[in-house]
């Protein structure tokens, strides 16, 4: 794990961070509802410990908008619809805007037909994709989300970039308030984690990425500019990423493979993505209460398993993030000085009236 020095970060309340991000986005030209949505998804990522997809992304979103790579006021359009399927075009907007519409559409279709499948093309970064699957799971459905992105990772065994870190998320409702949710890149880590390490000025674990010669590196800048990520599970991670590329990029009619421009300078280069969302109505298979009970039984079997390390209990997907969220809601979100400075710069640039972040607790 990456480590930071305590003096290099501040604890900021989510209730302060979310409206600040929303105000900045609205001042930058986003519609009010869209600004609130993007801010919500970014701050939720920070709460869950997915810092690489949190407010650290805000400056890049706005830089891409200024460069003409992102449309701040997209008109999401239905390209095609038939039965339980819909194809959407995101009009080059921040992907969060169209992605929420996509998962909500999938949920409606699933209520009608048992399953809903929505393909989405022509968007920028969609943020933490677990936000969308959790949205479905909290309504009693199984949610699935995946997307492609810039060509920054070579195929397993290759040296020329072909596809992105291609994340996948699956969430299922449980008997409690917290669904079981998987949210993962098909590489060892998401691309944003390397950029965040670079921003913090800290080394990365050597199993995260490779240098220009294909050897493990702890230098995030070397990996970003000249090297590439390591696949999770080797060829298996790459195989999964290829199928996500097919369902996200190929099926949508969007860009795929080397057609997607690589992204080296975040905020300056375009970030183009396509995605695929599925919602499954559990009630078409068995009563929802029975499903929740059975999920809980499985979760209990996993958590009660004797751990290899006594002080490290067995966790199921989503446990770590849920615990982090509870802690950060109570204590505040740790924001690095570098990110604080970026946000303060945006506040000044767009003339936003805001509570000073360095005392926002």
pLDDT single digits (tens) 214-267: 778 888 887 777 667 788 888 999 999 999 999 999 999 999 999 999 887 888
The pLDDT tens digits of the residues spanning 135-194 come to 999 999 999 999 999 998 889 988 888 999 999 999 999 998 899 999 999 988 766 677
Indicate the fold that domain 75-187+232-304 takes in CATH: Ribosomal Protein S8; Chain: A, domain 1 (3.30.1370)
Contact between 169 and 130 (Cβ < 8 Å) = yes
The pLDDT tens digits of the residues spanning 130-150 come to 999 999 999 999 999 999 999
Contact between 78 and 88 (Cβ < 8 Å) = yes
Q: Sheet harboring 77-82: ordered strands across?
A: 77-82, 85-89, 115-123, 273-281, 141-147, 168-172, 180-184
Q: Where are the domains of the chain?
A: 8-66+318-361, 75-187+232-304, 200-230
Q: Give me the count of residues in the chain.
A: 361
Predicted pLDDT at 226: 62
Q: CATH for 8-66+318-361, among 3.40.50.2300, 3.30.70.100, 2.60.120.620, 1.10.1530.10?
A: 1.10.1530.10
The answer, yes or no, to whether residue 6 has pLDDT greater than 70, is no
Predicted pLDDT at 359: 63
């Amino acid at each position: 794990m990456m480590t930071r020095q305590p003096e290099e970060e501040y604890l900021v309340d989510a209730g302060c961070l979310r409206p600040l991000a929303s105000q900045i986005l609205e001042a930058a030209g986003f519609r009010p509802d869209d600004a609130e949505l993007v801010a919500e998804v970014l701050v939720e990522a920070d709460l869950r410990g997915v810092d690489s997809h949190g407010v650290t992304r805000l400056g890049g979103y706005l830089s891409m908008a200024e460069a003409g790579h992102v449309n701040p006021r997209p008109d999401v359009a239905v390209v095609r619809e038939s039965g339980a399927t819909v194809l959407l075009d995101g009009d080059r907007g921040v992907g969060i805007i169209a992605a929420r519409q996509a998962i909500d559409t999938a949920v409606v279709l699933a209520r009608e037909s048992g399953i809903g499948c929505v393909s989405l093309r022509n968007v920028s970064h969609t943020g933490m994709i677990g936000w969308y699957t959790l949205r479905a799971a909290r309504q009693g459905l199984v949610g699935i989300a995946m997307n492609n992105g810039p060509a920054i990772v070579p195929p397993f065994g290759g040296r020329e970039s072909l596809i992105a870190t291609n994340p996948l998320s699956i969430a299922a409702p449980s008997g409690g308030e917290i669904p079981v949710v998987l949210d993962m890149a098909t590489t060892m880590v998401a691309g944003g984690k390397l950029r965040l390490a670079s921003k913090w000025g800290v080394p990365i674990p050597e199993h995260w990425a490779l240098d220009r010669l294909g050897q493990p590196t702890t230098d995030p800048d070397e990996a970003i500019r000249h090297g590439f990520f390591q696949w999770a599970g080797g060829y298996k991670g790459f195989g999964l990423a290829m199928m996500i590329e097919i369902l996200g990029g190929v099926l949508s009619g969007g860009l795929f493979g080397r057609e997607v421009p690589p992204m080296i300078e975040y905020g300056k280069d375009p970030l183009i993505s396509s995605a695929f969302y599925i919602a499954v109505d559990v009630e078409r298979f068995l009563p929802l209460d029975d499903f929740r009970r059975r999920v809980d039984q499985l979760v209990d079997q996993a958590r009660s398993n004797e751990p290899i390390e006594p002080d490290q209990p067995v966790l199921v997907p989503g446990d770590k993030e849920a615990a982090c969220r509870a802690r950060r809601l109570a204590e505040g979100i740790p924001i690095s000085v570098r990110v604080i400075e970026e946000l303060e710069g945006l506040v000044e640039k767009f003339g936003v009236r805001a509570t000073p972040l360095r005392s926002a607790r």
